[in-house]
C-alpha cells in the first residue's frame, strides 16, 4: 500500500508544472515534489544578511532517479546547463558515483524546455561544463576514466551546438579534471602529472590557446608547504574570481584539517601562489566535516557546500563566507534534502540568485 501511494504521488507530481513540466514552473516554497529524488531549483538569496535564507524558490528540473550536478547559468541568464547521470546503482539511482554515460543538458529557467547539449558517448564521462565569455562558449571534461581531456564548444541562444567540441591543448603529461575558464586567456584546472617519476596533483593555470607550459599554482602542497605525492593530496574544483586575481579550490591533504585529511577551501593569489590561505581553518582538525565545491559570488565572497558525515546519511548544507575566511554563515534552505553543487548569479533585474542541486533524503529512486 505504501509503495502504491508513493507511485501515485510520483505520477501526480510528474503531471504538474511545479515539478518541471514542459509548460513552465511556479514558485515552489517547500519543494512540493517530495517523492522525486533529485532536483535543481532556483532561489533568491541576500548574502549580506546576518542569516541569509533562500526565498522565492522555483523548481527548474527534477528526476525520480537521475542525479543532476554542476549547474551553470548561461551568459544570457535564460538557461541552466548541468550534468545528468544515466547508469544506475543497486538502488536504482543514477548518481555521481556512476560516471560513465553522462551527458550535459540545458533547461530554460522557466522550466519550459530541456535540450541535450553534449550527448553520452561510448560509456565515457561527459561533465563539468562551465560557460565563459558572452557568446555561449563553454568548456567541459570528457573521456574514458584515466584519459579525460578538456574540450571547448559553443551553442546558439537556443542551446544548439554551433561550434566544437574542440580539444584544448594541455601538456600530455597532465591528466586534467574540473576545468573552469572565465575568458580565452584564463583557464584553470586540477591535474595529476608526473614530476621526476612521482605523480603529483596540482592546480594549473593557462590560456585556452596555450603557447607553452601552464603555470602550476598549488603544486600539490599541504598546508605547511610540503609538496606531496598524488596518493597523499587531492585538489579539485578550482574557480577563478571574476576579476581574475584569485583562485579558490578544495584540498584534501595532511594538515588541511590540522591533523586530518578533511577537505578545506583554499584561496591562492595568481600573482603570488606561495601566499595561499586555508579559509576553512575554523573547522579545526575534524576530518568528518568538509568544505567543498567553492563558487565566487563576487570578488570577495564565496558560496560552498559543507559535508558533515558525523550524522546519519551525512548532511550537505550550503554556506557563504568572505575570501579571507571571515563572515562564515549558513544559507537557510528547505530541510530534508542534501545539497551539493551550487551556482550564484545576478538576474537580469539585478537580484542575487542561486541554482542548487538537491537530493531528497527519504525518497526512493524509481527509474
pLDDT at residue 255, rounded to an integer: 53
Structural domain spans, the chain: 55-142+333-367
pLDDT per position as a tens digit, 172-188:
878 888 999 988 888 88
- Cα three-residue angle 134-139-141, rounded to 5 degrees: 165
Contact (CB, 8 A) for 69 and 50? no
Please write the tens of the pLDDT for every residue from 296-330. 999 999 999 998 876 655 678 999 999 999 999 99
- Using an 8 Å Cβ cutoff, are 332 and 312 in contact? no
Residue pair 109/121 in contact by the 8 Å Cβ criterion: no
Alpha carbon distance 72, 341 (integer Å): 10
The C-alpha cell at 170 is: 594541455
Read off the C-alpha cell for 193.
602529472
Residue 360 reports pLDDT greater than 70: yes
CB-based contact 126:142 (threshold 8 Å): yes
List pLDDT tens digits, range 198-214.
566 778 888 876 655 55
* 98-146 per-position pLDDT tens digit: 777 889 999 999 989 999 999 887 767 888 899 988 889 999 999 887 7
Instruction: Write the pLDDT tens digit of every residue in 99-109.
Output: 778 899 999 99
Beta strand residue intervals within 196-322, DSSP E: 198-206, 215-216, 234-240, 246-252, 263-269, 277-278, 289-298, 301-308, 315-322
The pairing of beta strand 186-195 with beta strand 198-206: antiparallel
Q: Which residue has the higher pLDDT, 10 or 38?
A: 38
Mean pLDDT of the chain: 79
More confident residue, 277 or 257: 277
Amino acid at each position: 500500500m505504501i509503495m502504491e501511494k508513493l507511485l501515485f504521488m510520483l505520477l501526480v507530481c510528474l503531471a504538474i508544472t511545479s515539478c518541471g513540466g514542459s509548460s513552465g514552473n511556479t514558485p515552489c516554497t517547500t519543494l512540493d515534489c517530495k517523492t522525486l529524488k533529485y532536483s535543481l531549483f532556483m532561489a533568491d538569496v541576500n548574502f549580506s544578511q546576518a542569516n541569509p535564507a533562500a526565498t522565492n524558490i522555483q523548481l527548474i528540473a527534477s528526476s525520480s532517479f537521475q542525479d543532476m550536478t554542476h549547474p551553470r547559468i548561461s551568459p544570457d541568464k535564460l538557461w541552466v546547463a548541468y550534468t545528468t547521470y544515466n547508469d544506475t546503482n543497486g538502488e536504482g539511482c543514477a548518481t555521481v558515483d556512476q560516471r560513465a554515460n553522462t551527458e550535459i543538458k540545458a533547461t530554460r529557467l522557466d522550466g519550459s524546455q530541456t535540450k541535450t547539449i553534449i550527448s553520452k558517448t561510448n560509456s565515457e564521462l561527459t561533465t563539468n561544463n562551465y560557460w565563459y565569455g558572452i557568446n555561449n562558449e563553454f568548456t567541459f571534461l570528457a573521456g574514458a576514466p584515466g584519459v579525460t581531456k578538456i574540450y571547448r564548444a559553443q551553442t546558439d541562444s537556443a542551446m544548439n551546438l554551433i561550434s566544437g567540441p574542440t580539444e584544448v591543448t594541455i601538456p600530455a603529461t597532465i591528466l586534467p579534471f574540473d576545468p573552469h575558464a572565465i575568458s580565452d586567456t584564463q583557464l584553470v584546472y586540477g591535474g595529476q602529472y608526473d614530476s621526476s617519476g612521482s605523480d603529483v596533483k596540482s592546480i594549473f593555470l593557462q590560456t585556452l590557446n596555450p603557447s607553452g607550459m601552464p603555470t602550476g599554482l598549488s603544486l600539490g602542497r599541504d598546508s605547511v608547504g610540503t609538496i606531496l605525492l598524488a596518493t597523499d593530496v587531492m585538489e579539485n574544483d578550482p574557480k577563478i574570481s571574476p576579476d581574475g586575481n584569485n583562485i579558490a579550490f578544495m584540498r584534501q591533504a595532511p594538515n588541511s584539517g590540522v591533523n586530518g585529511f578533511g577537505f578545506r577551501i583554499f584561496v591562492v593569489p595568481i600573482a603570488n601562489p606561495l601566499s595561499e590561505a586555508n579559509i576553512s581553518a575554523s573547522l579545526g582538525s575534524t576530518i568528518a566535516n568538509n568544505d567543498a565545491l567553492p563558487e565566487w559570488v563576487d570578488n570577495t565572497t564565496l558560496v560552498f557546500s559543507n559535508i558533515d558525515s558525523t550524522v546519519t546519511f551525512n548532511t550537505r548544507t550550503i554556506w557563504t563566507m568572505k575570501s579571507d575566511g571571515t563572515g562564515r554563515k549558513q544559507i537557510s534552505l528547505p530541510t530534508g534534502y542534501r545539497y551539493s553543487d551550487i551556482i550564484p548569479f545576478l538576474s537580469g533585474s539585478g537580484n542575487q540568485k542561486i541554482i542548487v542541486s538537491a537530493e531528497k533524503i527519504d525518497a526512493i529512486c524509481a527509474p
